[in-house]
Chain A
Amino acid sequence: MIPRRDLPVRVAARAELSPTCFRLTLSTPEVIDAVPGQFGMLACGDTFDPLLRRAFSLAGVVRRVGRTEVELLIKEVGRGTARLRRTVVGAELRLLAPLGNGFTLEGGDRPLALVAGGIGLPPVLFAAEVLAARGAAFDLFVGAVSGKELLEVERCGRAAAAVGGELVLATDDASRGEEGFVTDAVDRRLAAGRSYARALVCGPDPMLAAMAKVGRRRGVDVELSLEEAMACGVGVCLGCVVELSDGRVVPSCKEGPVFSAERLAARWWS
């Protein structure tokens, strides 16, 4: 397990990715590492409003000489993320990371299906780039409401191409890629005989539930990265709990955020 730390980070770059999303590249002199699926708690500033840190799945961790760069892809949804969107390069923040567990990246001799919906892309992109560097096979499915809201398409394409995998784009309005839900695009590949060791999934709750159902119907293991409101990220506030099929109620920040779909309580399936 990689030890969690409260890292001093400096905003090294900020880039707009879509009408609602942006990328923050954070630089720290510390040497850190993380597993795709893990997340960090980022302080949005040093005032009391917003009060709490925000949880973001890590989109990449790159070691450079004398520093580590951590990438976050962020959707502006409220005061904290609006403030981060206005952050200037050079600003100093704090990032508590890496937190939680990660995806299971070992696929054996079959490829993995990496599936992202909307701002669920960060951990999936991180997994794709790590797998690409390892030469492990995967197909990458990325969905969004529209073509304009598809993020980091070139990077996704490069990662998939590096291992001969397919990049499948899907949009609700058919403005780019296949029409409809990204989970249906995965289902079509499975129906056509494509076989996956596992699906690693992150996106909005209805999409996670849909993917869990596809996995169950087609006999594919599915790992879901959940998003729950959390105050601390380290298992003490108990705000982010999820109910498991064995009746336990566990903080998703510590036992997750990645859960095998089969471990989650039935309401996730319905």
Chain B
Amino acid sequence: MSAGTATRVGALTLANPILAASGTFGYGLDLVEFCPPERLGAVVTKGLSPRPRLGNPTPRIVETAAGMINAIGLQNIGVEAFCRDALPVLRERAALVAVNVFGERMEEYLEVMERCEREEGVAAYELNVSCPNVTAGGMEFGHDPVQLERLTRMCRAATRRALWVKLSPNAPDLVATARAAVAGGADALTLINTVRAMAIDPVARRPVLARGCGGLSGPAIKPIALRMVWEVHRALPEVPLVGIGGVETGRDAVEFLLAGASAVQVGTAIFRDPTAPLRILSELEQFCVEHGVAEASSLIGGLQWP
């Protein structure tokens, strides 16, 4: 016996609900021998800006209890190099690609999307309005519902492809930002990005990261992410959600589906185990078989509330 894994995120059908998260899987081709991108529901690229970015000074990462804090600062090769070097190969492999879009100004989000619109093989855009590690752009759009709705509307007008907005757990009112993104025309919401955090070196009496603060990811944030997915699902039950935050096992993926996510992104787990997304997919199938679940998608939003 086997379980069906197909899922839908809005109008987009995915072969399975396990995705590689932005910033943990390069441009989809860095770990092909461990995790072929075409076997995943989708791959989300490292955040792309109109021009290459060098990112923040080091140290950029530090491990913490059951997690890690990063302040990479969206180092990326730029949308042009992505379209030239990576996208043709991803297309060839028939991988489903979501481009994570980043800009310091609203116009820059459009620049990235307009460049991608000239190419086949991009199924979705994921607007990054929640990166805690840059001075301009990022969270500044994600925290203000008025700005977020405006940005989403601008991007909506630029494409007929699926438009996802990746929300920040650091926003003062999560549900308000979720509503704003939907009002602006988002097809789905990804949540959550990293949680703003810091680590201190007590001997040096300084922050460990060169930038001072960063974003916490890994199993430590899974309960926070689950609560947020559930909260947004309860407020906006018709809106497809892509859950992310500390997914390490197939059971974790099941928990996110139950909370209301239609698909799940795997991030930090890839750093521990480059095969993690495929392993998690097979564990999810195993869970379904063991619990008599014929279709994984039937788990979506299936949480029994007391």
Number of interface residues of A (CB under 8 A): 27
Using A237-B61, A239-B61, A239-B72 as known contacts, say yes or no to A231 and B66 having CB atoms under 8 A apart. no
A228 and B58 within 8 A (CB): yes
Interface residue? B62 (CB, 8 A) = yes
Cα–Cα distance between A39 and B172 once the two chains are bound (Å): 43
Whether the pair A51, B31 counts as a contact (CB closer than 8 A) is no
Q: Are B62 and A229 in contact (CB under 8 A)?
A: yes
B136 CB–A CB distance under 8 Å = no
* A229–B24 touching, CB < 8 Å: no
Contact residue among A43, A80, A229, A234 (Cβ-Cβ distance under 8 Å from B31): A234
Assess the A3–B33 pair: CB atoms within 8 A.
Answer: yes
Q: Could you tell me the distance in whole angstroms from the C-beta of A254 to the nearest C-beta in chain B?
A: 9
Q: Is the CB of A51 within 8 A of B58?
A: no
Q: B82 CB to closest chain A CB, in angstroms? A: 14
Most B Cβ at <10 Å: residue of A52, A96, A228, A242:
A52
How many Å lie between the Cα of A242 and that of B272 in the bound state? 22
B257-285 CB mask vs A (1 if < 8 Å, else 0) is: 00000000000101111110000000000
Per-position contact with B for A1-34: 1 when CB-CB < 8 Å, else 0? Answer: 0011010000000000000000000000000000
What's the Cα separation between A3 and B61 when bound, in Å? 27
Q: Is the CB of B30 within 8 A of A234?
A: yes
Q: With a CB–CB cut-off of 8 A, which chain B residues contact A234? A: 30-31, 274
Task: Check A49/B66 contact, CB under 8 A, given A232-B270, A236-B271, A241-B75.
Answer: yes
User: Contact flags (1/0) for B102-138 with A, using CB distance below 8 Å?
Assistant: 0000000000000000000000000000000000000
Distance in Å from the Cβ of B67 to the closest Cβ of chain A?
A: 6
A235 proximity list for chain B (CB < 8 A): 26, 30
Interface centre among A50, A237, A240 (most CB of B within 10 A): A237
* Nearest CB on B from A224, distance (A): 16
Q: Are B273 and A236 in contact (CB under 8 A)?
A: no
How many residues from B make CB contacts under 8 Å with A?
34
B24 pairs with A51, CB closer than 8 A: no
B contact residues around A50 at 8 Å (CB) = 63
Q: When chains A and B are docked, how far (Å) is the Cα of A80 from the Cα of B62?
A: 13
Q: How far is the CB of A39 from chain B (nearest CB, A)?
A: 15
A236 touches B65 (CB 8 A): no
B71 nearest CB neighbor, chain A only: A239
Contact A51 B272 (CB under 8 A): yes
CA distance A210 to B274 in the complex (A): 37
Give bound CA distance, A137 to B248, whole Å: 49
Provided the pairs A229-B62, A231-B68, A241-B55 are in contact, do residues A52 and B274 lie with their beta carbons within 8 angstroms?
A: no
B61 A43 Cβ-Cβ under 8 A: no
A4, A48, A228, A239: the one contacting B218 at CB < 8 Å is A48
Select from chain B the residue with minimum beta-carbon distance to A48: B66
Q: Say whether, besides A239-B61, A241-B58, A6 and B274 are in contact (CB < 8 Å).
A: yes
Taking a contact as CB atoms closer than 8 A, the residue among B30, B33, B54 that contacts A236 in the complex is B30
Chain B positions within 8 Å of A249 at CB level: 54-55, 75
List chain A residues, Cβ under 8 A from B230: none
Which of B26, B54, B75, B272 counts the most A-chain CB atoms under 10 A from its CB? B272
Instruction: Answer yes or no: A230 CB below 8 A from chain B CBs.
Output: yes
Q: Which residues of B contact A238 (CB under 8 A)?
A: 23, 55, 60, 72, 75
Interface residues of A in 172-217 (CB under 8 A from B): none
A53 at the interface (CB under 8 A from B): yes
B270 touches A6 (CB 8 A): no
B25 at the interface (CB under 8 A from A): yes
Q: Which of B62, B70, B273 contacts A237 (CB 8 A)?
A: B70
Nearest CB on A from B55, distance (A): 6
Residue from A6, A48, A230, A237 in contact with B219 in the complex, judged by beta carbons closer than 8 Å? A48
Question: Is B59 on the interface with A (CB-CB < 8 A)?
Answer: yes
Q: Contact: B30 with A51, CB < 8 Å?
A: no
Q: Could you show 10 A-B contacts with beta carbons less than 8 Å apart?
A: A48-B66, A48-B219, A51-B66, A229-B60, A230-B61, A231-B61, A232-B270, A235-B30, A238-B55, A239-B70
Interface residues of B (CB under 8 A from A): 23-26, 30-31, 33-34, 54-55, 58-63, 65-68, 70, 72, 75, 218-220, 248, 268, 270-275
8 pairs of A and B residues whose beta carbons are closest in the complex: A239-B61, A48-B66, A232-B271, A231-B271, A236-B26, A48-B219, A249-B54, A238-B72
4 additional A-B pairs beyond A52-B272, A53-B271, A242-B58, beta carbons within 8 Å, are A6-B274, A231-B70, A238-B55, A239-B70
